[in-house]
Amino acid sequence: MATNPGVMEDYGNAFPVLNSNPTDMSSPPNLWTNLPKIPTVRSSKCTQVFTVPLAERKFRDDLENSFGDEGKQADVCKDIMARTGVTIEMSLSRDQTLTVVVSGREDQVKKARREVMTRLQTQANQTIRIPREHHRFILGAKGLKLQELELVTATKITIPRENENSDVIRIMGTKEGIDKAMHDIQVVSDIQSKLANERLPVQKVYHPFVCGPNNSTIKQLMEETGAKINVPPPSVMKDEIVVTGEKEGVMKCKATIMAIYEEKCRKCQTVSVEVRKSQHKYVIGPRGSNLQEILANTGVSVEVPPLDSSSETITLRGEQDKLGPALTMVYSKANSVVFADISAPDWLHKYIIGKKGSTIRNITANFPKVHIEFTEGENKIQVEGPPEEVDDAVKALQDFLRDLQSRMDFAEIEIDQRFHKHIIGKGGANITKIKNETNVAIKIPSDQENSNTIRIEGEPNGVKQAKQELLEMAARMENEKSRDILIEQRFHRMLIGAKGEGIKATRDKFNQVQITFPDQGKKSDVVTLRGPKTDVDKCFQYLTKMTQDLIASNYQAQVHIFKDFHKVIIGKGGANIRKIREETDTRIDLPNKPSDSDVIVITGVKANVEAAKKRIEDIQKELANIKEVSVEVPHKLHNSIIGAKGRLIRSIMDECGGVIIRFPPEGSTSDKVTIRGPAEDVDKAKTQLQELSKQVQTTSNVEEIRAKPEYHKFLIGRGGAKIRKVRENTGARIIFPGQDDQDQELITIIGTKEAVKEAKAEIQGLIKDLDNIVEGEVNVDPKYHKHFVARRGEVLRQIGDDFGGVTVSFPRSGVKSDKVVIKGAKDCVEGAKKRILEIVADLEAQVMIECDIPQQFHRTVMGARGSNVQEITSTFDVQIKFPDRPIADKPPAEKPTNAGDAGDAADAGEAPEMVNGEAVNGEVKRNNIITITGKVDACEQAKKALLDLVPITKEVIVPFDFHKNIIGQKGRDVRKLMDECNVNISIPPQQQQSDVIKVTGPPANVQRAEEALAAKVSDLELDKEDRLLKSFEIKVEVSPDYHPKLIGRRGEVINKIRSDHDVRIQLPERNDEDQSVIRIIGYERNCEAARDEILRMVKDYEDQVHLEVRVDHRIHSRIIGQKGRGVRRIQDDFKVDLRFPRGNDDKDILVISGAEDDVYECKDHLLNMEEEFLQDIIDDEYLKSLQKPSRIEPERPKRSENPGFYTKNAPWDKDDGSAPDTSSTSEFPSFPGATGGSAVAPKSSFAWGPMRRK
């Protein structure tokens, strides 16, 4: 209630009494009751507490004998907590009963509880006999029910498999859990014992009588008996009904169903009638409702053939006297729907339907049972429905159709299909504009239709206008010009620009011209221009000029650099390549790492490109013994020497180790050919080039012959022996196609006429021999057949590739024969036969040896994805087989294993050998044996290589102070070292203060890592010594007045001293006692040099003249200028330093420091500035004094102090004894925790187990 300050209010009015009647509806409603009900949030965590009596504890002896040690049961709990994510706390009572508290998510708590009871409590074992047919109900779907039972009871339940003829279920766990599990299993079995299952042989045609109308009969039966009746659906042709449930109910259902079936078999007869297939759906009705209606009214079942059947026969089955009424109902249902056709042009259908069917819905709104069907391509509409509604619907449609035809028209015009896309426009802009202006529909045929006809539909005036516009556009386009311009595809993106800005500017400039670029996937250089002739020509010239400019600024050159040198060209972090790019203003593209190309592409202005090319080649010259020579070859012979598509010259480069041979540009008259590469290869290429040049000069005879690519290996021979022999015999040069040549069959022969003829005859003879297909046989022991056909016939494929595609056929599987058939060219067959016999000889010479390596090292020996083993097998041509990993089974309950021993072995880093889940000692186990198959020497070498990969652990002494440097930032350096040496490096924790670092890995790798660590330690010791030398310190006393001078503007002076002498200079802090001491830290020699320079600067400052000048403080700001520009200019001009007053200094005094002459010149300049600016200030103050004084607002009266709020007639003012007693603790109780009150502290509850620290 609002009150006026200082006014005495009555207590009754200020604080009215509230209504005490809870049923009074005049009180304001409780808004909380209208709030939506908030669902109860259930906690996702739960806690379970259980006990393990002393007699049932597994580790009771261990815990009693180890005071203060948690023992093995604590290790078990830690392991369970780590795997399940729960919290486990344990405590012991006086009677040594173990209490366990498990907290966490409900599902994880169940799992953890089961594991705790299994591993901490002694296990019992008991069996129960349950009929085999009940086992599946105990298992549940996918075994989930059994898993849940095991979790709840903390037991292990074993159910016999299907192939085991046993009904015994074994339960293992605690006695309490076993009792509960046996009870639950017995309950499931008892429930299933009471159930029955009956399959009743009832013919499919009598199922409707059994089910009754709308399944009323079987529903009633199921309600009465509680049994479940399963009747196959109409689509399933089964003559049976299945009844399941309790035996009594099943028997009752069986009796009733069989009674109905037998009665209908005796009394029922059939009648067949022919009804049109299209009317069957009306006999059936929605979801078979009509059939159920006939069955309910007449007791007759109507059988309708399936929809996919062509039969029109409907069969009625029932009692004789009821077939007549049922037949009448069937005909009534069949004739309840009629059909009618309305003639309507196909193009008007969409207007009759309307947008999203709105028009047709309005027409048929009063005819809900009528269905109207439109067929595309037909000039009619089909109407179906009840006779009375169909007639009215047809009349309404015909009226609407007549009205539509009176106000709609269409036109078809012929326009060449090549103009269609221009009529449509970009994104349909042109055609959309015409549609919107004329309100018509325009149909343009697609490119696939290959039609010139465009159809226009709509109002007559709109159709006429649209037709005229389209014809005008077509006429205009016929007069347009189309012109193509060739622009390299690499320039297309540059012309288009970012986000199309470049081409947009061009199109705006030539807005009548349509510019079309080819798709990126076509790799075409053709850009099409279309539009008015004049505009197209101007645009063509404009784009030509732009292209020429782009060509000039995007000149490209290729430089061949050996692949191994690319990383040096790039430099560390790309430093070298970045420097060349920046200094030459070019773009340099290197091939990707996986690519075999050695070509570096340089793009930019021609002069810059040549400069960058020279710099890159110079780098290569410095890196290797690269030689460059020039050979004089008449330029007229260059094309002949290069050969078709460069085949001849490429063959020389390939033979000579990949040297680079450069010919002058096309059209040049220069005879200079440059050869570049390693010195020996260059000399070899030079000799071959000169010989080829002489051959071409003396004769230009070139012959080409063809041979299958698979023959080339035989024509060349091993190591080129055959083709070299042909060259020596004839003197001709024979060139085979390279890998990049498209025509892989073409062989070129160059030389004199006679030499070419002889070489051609020899090669053709070799080819003819290869073409003669023969069949050979070789005997191979069947035990070796598998080697040839293994891995999808990899060996046979290799033989086929090596020997001209011969076909090798081994006997089919199951046929006991050693005969292997080889088909192909004679030489190829002989070569393949010889190769097969060599392989067989190798196989016969193979042995199998064993290599003993402990199982736990096998994965390390294999390497990542088996890389180590793959390398050994390929190097020594052997086969290596590792044993399968053993599967440790759980120990049987009768013989529990000593879990503590196994745990200790695991903690010690040793993998205990397990046999059926138990640790054993003795001879070498088979799962440690690796078998190696191959030749004796190769197997021994492979065995040695495997043993060399067995990891060892070596301790390396590294001073503790260097450990952080070995680790690096976030472990980066130690990870890098481990990756480089392929070892594991273990560095002790900081709290151990140990110098020992453990390196684990193969011996060779450990040795490399040890050497790398030693080198790192050596470097760190040198760094440590260097840091010690660099920590030399000198103190210099310099007056604080000179400190700003030494610092300079933005620290320029002091930073220069620091960089010149490589020292750290520390000036005193504001709070330091001695403000004159400057500390210099660094090498002793550098510190002394920096000290001398500082003292020299101080001496120079001391030699300076200091002059005080009185300058009116009002002009100081003008001397300083904006952002200090004025005072800096004065200091630079006169080579002096100006200091303005600070704090309590005289505000008019300026101090000038510098050479005597410069100081006095600066003083004169300042006094002149004072005289000039002071007059301006005096004038401004005089003008201000002449201005009219501003209006002064009158002072507002001060507010009176608020006297407060007062009440009268309050309860405490009454004298009738009704006032409350303020001293009474019952009427005015104290709150807990209040001053003077007695607060009762809540009881603290502690969790089980040790106290947690927050």
Predicted confidence (pLDDT) per residue in 823-854, tens digit = 877 778 888 888 888 888 877 778 888 888 88
Residues 6+ apart with CB under 8 A from 1163: 1107, 1109, 1152
> What does the alpha-carbon distance between residue 978 and residue 121 come to, in Å, rounded to a whole number?
45
Look at the chain and count its residues. Answer: 1254
Between CA 528 and CA 518 the distance in angstroms is 8
Cβ 427 vs Cβ 447: under 8 Å? no
Contacts of 759 (CB under 8 A, 6+ apart): 703, 726, 727, 730, 732, 734, 749, 751
| Whole-structure pTM value | 0.32
Which helix (H) or strand (E) segment is 21 a member of?
Answer: none
- Report how many helices (DSSP H) and strands (DSSP E) the chain contains, helices first: 46, 49
In whole angstroms, what is the distance from residue 134 CA to residue 155 CA?
20
DSSP E strand stretches across 846-939 = 847-852, 879-881, 914-915, 918-919, 929-934
- Residue closest to 302 by CA, chosen among 280, 276, 279: 280
For residue 765, which of 829, 705, 720, 719 has the smallest C-alpha distance?
A: 705
Q: Rounding to the nearest 10 degrees, give the CA dihedral for residues 1162, 1166, 1169, 1170.
A: -170
User: Which percentage of the chain shows pLDDT scores above 90?
Assistant: 1
- Read off the tokens for 352: 């009759």
CB 434 within 8 A of CB 470: yes
Residues 6 or more apart whose Cβ sits within 8 Å of residue 323: 269, 271, 300, 316
What is the rounded end-to-end Cα distance, in angstroms, of the chain?
50
- Nearest CA to 836 out of 792, 882, 782, 779 is that of 779
Among 1174, 1179, 1170, 1133, CA closest to 1149: 1170
Q: How many CA atoms lie within 13 Å of 811's alpha carbon, on the beta-carbon side?
A: 16
Question: Rounded CA gap, 675 and 689, in Å?
Answer: 10
List the chain residues with pLDDT less than 50: 1-6, 20-38, 66-69, 888-924, 1192-1194, 1198, 1200-1201, 1232-1254
pLDDT of residue 1087: 92
pLDDT value at residue 991: 85
Question: How large is the C-alpha radius of gyration of the chain?
Answer: 52
Contact predicate 214/220, CB 8 Å: no
| The two structure tokens encoding residue 850 | 């064993």
What was the pLDDT predicted at 35? 44
d(CA 359, CA 369): 17
Closest by CA position to 347, among listed 398, 272, 412: 412
Token digits of residue 1197: 């009266």
- Joined together, the tokens standing for residue 902 give 């196994």
The three-state secondary structure class of 41 is: coil
Q: What are phi and psi of 126, to 5 degrees?
A: -145, 155
Strands 8-10 and 1206-1208: what pairing?
parallel
Residues in contact with 279: Cβ distance below 8 Å, sequence separation at least 6, in sequence order: 334, 335, 337
166-202 burial string, b = 16+ CB within 10 Å, else e?
eeebebbbbebbbbbbbebbeebbeebeeebebebeb
Q: Give the torsion sign (CA, 105, 110, 113, 115).
A: negative
* Other beta carbons less than 10 A from residue 819's beta carbon: 12
Chain mean position to CA 411: 56
Tell me the HSE value of 1126 on the side-chain side, using a 13 A CA sphere.
11
Residue 35 CB coordination number (10 Å): 8
User: Other C-beta atoms within 10 Å of 1140: how many?
Assistant: 15
- Report how far residue 723's alpha carbon sits from residue 725's, in angstroms, rounded to the nearest whole number: 5
- Residue 754 CA to residue 163 CA, distance in Å, equals 86
Q: What is the DSSP letter of 870?
A: H
CB atoms within 10 A of CB 488: 13
Please give the Cα distance from 1173 to 1113 (Å, whole number).
11
Under 8 Å between Cβ of 381 and 373: yes
